[in-house]
Structure formats: structure tokens, C-alpha cells
Amino acid sequence: EKVVKAAEQKREWADIENQIKTIEYQYKQDKYTTAEAIEQLRSLKLQPDYIDNLIPQWQVKSITEKETLWTTAQTLSFIKAKLITSERGKQELEEIGYDEEHIKIYLASLVPAP
């Protein structure tokens, strides 16, 4: 009986975690205001201090997630048009997530072949 009860509690918490993730997603997509997100979290019967800790974390993440990066093609075309330096382009490619090898190849592709 204890095993069954523990399994039920685990399933219930997994369901609540999924609902929290859904609320977080809606909040970050600006489909919920802060007040609406808090109300949705309260409907899950979460502790007030838990809710008070979630919202600031989501706000920080949503601000950093909204940072706009250029695409690889944009970055390379900006370097080629001399709108940015190769060094600045390298920094952009690093921020996109490319490793040193790929960056070197991309930058080398901008140099005309002899």
C-alpha cells in the first residue's frame, strides 16, 4: 500500500511539474502577465514562497533568452561587406555556438580563392 501511495504521489508531482512548465512557457511567450502566471500557479495549490521564487527566476531567464543573435549567414555577409570586423564576426559565431574549427573554416570561406 505504501508503494502504491508513493507511486501516486510521484505521478501527481510529475503532473504538477508539467503544468508549471506550461505556465512558464506561456509566461515567457507573453501570453500570461505576471499576475496571471501567479494566479495559475496558485490554482495548483503551490506554497506562496515557492511561487514567489519561481516568477523572478522566469523573469531573469526570459530577459536573457530574448537576446538577439545574428544568423551565421548574416554574420558572414556583414564581415564580407566590412560592416563588422572579422574579430567581431568571430565573437558572434562563438555566441551562436560554433567551435574554433568551424569558425576558422567560415572565416576562411570569405577570402577569395587564388
Q: Are residues 60 and 35 in the same domain?
A: yes
Give tens-digit pLDDT for 10-31. Answer: 998 899 999 999 999 888 888 8
Domain span including residue 58 = 2-65
> What's the pLDDT at 85?
93
pTM score, two decimals?
Answer: 0.51
Same domain? For 18 and 55 the reply is yes
What pLDDT, on a 0 to 100 scale, did the predictor assign at position 51? 93
Number of domains the chain is built from: 2
- CA gap 55, 100 in Å, rounded: 37
Portion of the chain with pLDDT greater than 70, in percent: 92
Average pLDDT value for residue range 35-46: 94
Give me the chain's average pLDDT, please.
88
Both 27 and 55 in one domain: the answer is yes
Instruction: For residue 100, give every residue at least 6 positions away whose Cβ sits within 8 Å of its Cβ, in sequence order, or none.
Output: none
